Chain A
Amino acid sequence: MKTQTTLSKGEPDGGASGPIMRVRGLGHSYGEREVLKGLDFEVGRGELMCVVGPSGVGKTTLLECLTGLRRPSEGEVLFDGERIEAPPRGLAIVFQDYSRSLMPWLSVLDNVVLPLRSAGVARDERERTAREALAEVGLSDFTGHYPWQLSGGMQQRVAIARALAYRPAVVVMDEPFASVDAQTRADLEDLLLRVREHLGITVLLVTHDIDEAVYLSDRVLALGGKPAGIRSLLTVDLPAPREQVATKSLPRFAELRSQVYRLIRDV
């Protein structure tokens, strides 16, 4: 498919090997309060990793440090071998609150196009890329709409399309499906799996939902404790493709989810 070639060719690795992200001795404190401490892990190319932990454990702080939106007080994050100081060009973020992360004064298409305009992509190309990204999330018929004319799930799909059109090597998502109803959430999860399969991008997703983490992930990073550290980094050996009913009724799924549950609850 043509979509695949255009949308994924932005990967900066050019087929390089080794992890796309490397986290070394990461820690962060707000004044006296230590939130994160001693995190070491790597995110492989094309991997889908979920960071899961209870509310208030410091997931958002971790995400901010990983994306360069916040400077960690200890350690470093390497993106494609380079230390992150600001959000790197090869990384796109999908925020939790879609209603506040999309611009109501811009159409769906223009919301997706704007970052490409800033990047100096030629008009024809940026329009094409944006339309492909919107097609990828099933919103081809809504390019002329405004975000507020769409349902919550569709708005979050616009935000995902914006991230995809940016042609990132890594998409980082902060509780992306937390503000939509259960059915929409399941649909969006499957959409994410499809898109990721199709484009071969790396996804790092932060969630408090253990089921979601196990269902989506290649590996789950369980965060817990005060200050929060890595409880476990476990490989999810569930067969692909995942399917909402079949996958979630596997005995292995239940095992994994109770394992993660114990990891992040027990101190």
Chain B
Amino acid sequence: MTRTPLRTAPPGVRRLVNRLLALLVAFVVWHLFARGPGSSSGFPTPLESMESAVDLAGTSVYWSNIATSVETALLGLGLAVLIGLPIGLLIGADERARRSTQLILDFGRTVPAIALLPLFLLMFGATRSLGLVLIVVSAVWPVIIQASYAVGEISPQLRRVGQAYHLTRWHRLRYLIAPSMLPFVFVGLRIAATISLLMAISSEFLGGSDGLGYLLLQAMQINDTHRAFVYSFTAALLGLVLNLVFVLLQRRVLWWHPSVRKGGAS
């Protein structure tokens, strides 16, 4: 009986039902694990986790610490963009600069920022500055690299159009250069945003300043697995939301780009 209406249901509904089913299966497996092998280490069942989540959602500590983490991440991202974008554009504008900075950029982006944490912890202590510095140091690289690529991606053909049709400086910047670079800069921004959130929470966890990471640290110290679980989930959800924001943003600003637009070829 239940199968027939589902088959005739619109694809959107069918997809939703399928997703819910997958989620249900995951919950069942989780539940069985928590009751069985996980029970000795205090692994919470889905239901228990949900209870703790509801409890925590009623506290202001939970929300204010989330806000702190998000704020740190966004502030750090903003700083990384403010610093990285001009540097990237300058490097990209000059072939020699691009070649000579290659090594530094490769080095910079491969150094794990976490490895620098002890050093920064000594310098800044358990403060928000620590988080910001850590974010900038790790998120600035994708911004620089993508911005420097972006400059090289302005088609010579379009530059000639600008020249041949005597476009004003402002029109060239607004209608030719900026849109040409946007897809590349956007990728950098998206990577940097993910790093920022990750680094914000990591720095709170390892350094001990306020935020979601600190809550996680506290829960761990008193062996409160139920709450620790909720905090981890919260962090994951923040990541998902961030991703969603960027997908929507991309649709808005890059609607003409082959990766986004509907219909048409090449």
Is B one of A's binding partners?
A: yes
A-side interface residues toward B, CB under 8 Å? Answer: 67, 69, 86-87, 89, 91-93, 95, 97, 99-101, 103-106, 114-115, 117-119, 146, 148-150, 162, 166
Q: Shortest distance in angstroms between A104's beta carbon and chain B's nearest beta carbon?
A: 5
Separation of A17 and B256 alpha carbons in the complex (Å): 46
Contact A166 B165 (CB under 8 A): yes
Contact A69 B160 (CB under 8 A): yes
Query: What chain B residues lie within 8 Å of A101 (beta carbons)?
Result: 157-158, 160-161
A119 touches which of B166, B179, B257, B266 (Cβ 8 Å): B166
Separation of A89 and B175 alpha carbons in the complex (Å): 20
Task: Say yes or no for B10: interface residue by CB 8 A criterion.
Answer: no
Query: What chain B residues lie within 8 Å of A86 (beta carbons)?
Result: 163
B256 touches which of A95, A99, A146 (Cβ 8 Å): A146
A67, A97, A148 — most chain B CB neighbours (10 Å): A148
Contact A99 B171 (CB under 8 A): no
Contact A105 B179 (CB under 8 A): yes
Separation of A150 and B263 alpha carbons in the complex (Å): 10
Contact A87 B265 (CB under 8 A): no
Query: What chain B residues lie within 8 Å of A149 (beta carbons)?
Result: 263-264
Given A114-B175, A115-B166, A119-B166, A148:B266 Cβ within 8 A: yes
1/0 per residue, CB under 8 A from A, across B226-266: the answer is: 00000000000000000000000000000011100101111
Work out how many contacts link A and B, with CB atoms closer than 8 A: 66
Separation of A93 and B166 alpha carbons in the complex (Å): 11
Q: Please, could you name 17 A-B residue pairs with CB atoms under 8 Å apart, sorted by A? A: A67-B164, A69-B164, A87-B163, A91-B164, A92-B165, A93-B161, A93-B164, A95-B161, A100-B155, A101-B157, A103-B179, A104-B257, A105-B175, A115-B167, A117-B171, A146-B256, A146-B261
With both beta carbons as reference points, the residue of chain B lying nearest to A172 in the complex is identified as B164
Q: Count the B residues whose beta carbon is within 8 Å of the partner chain — how many?
A: 23
Task: Say yes or no for B93: interface residue by CB 8 A criterion.
Answer: no
Task: Say yes or no for B168: interface residue by CB 8 A criterion.
Answer: yes
Q: Shortest distance in angstroms between B29's beta carbon and chain A's nearest beta carbon?
A: 45
With both beta carbons as reference points, the residue of chain A lying nearest to B182 in the complex is identified as A105
Task: Say yes or no for B176: interface residue by CB 8 A criterion.
Answer: yes
Contact B266 A118 (CB under 8 A): no
With both beta carbons as reference points, the residue of chain B lying nearest to A155 in the complex is identified as B266
> Which residues 122-161 of B have a CB within 8 angstroms of A?
155, 157-158, 160-161
Query: What chain B residues lie within 8 Å of A104 (beta carbons)?
Result: 256-257
Which 5 pairs across A and B sit closest by C-beta, in order of nearness?
A: A115-B165, A148-B264, A100-B157, A105-B256, A93-B164
Separation of A208 and B209 alpha carbons in the complex (Å): 70
Contact B166 A118 (CB under 8 A): yes
Query: What chain B residues lie within 8 Å of A91 (beta carbons)?
Result: 164
Contact B158 A87 (CB under 8 A): no
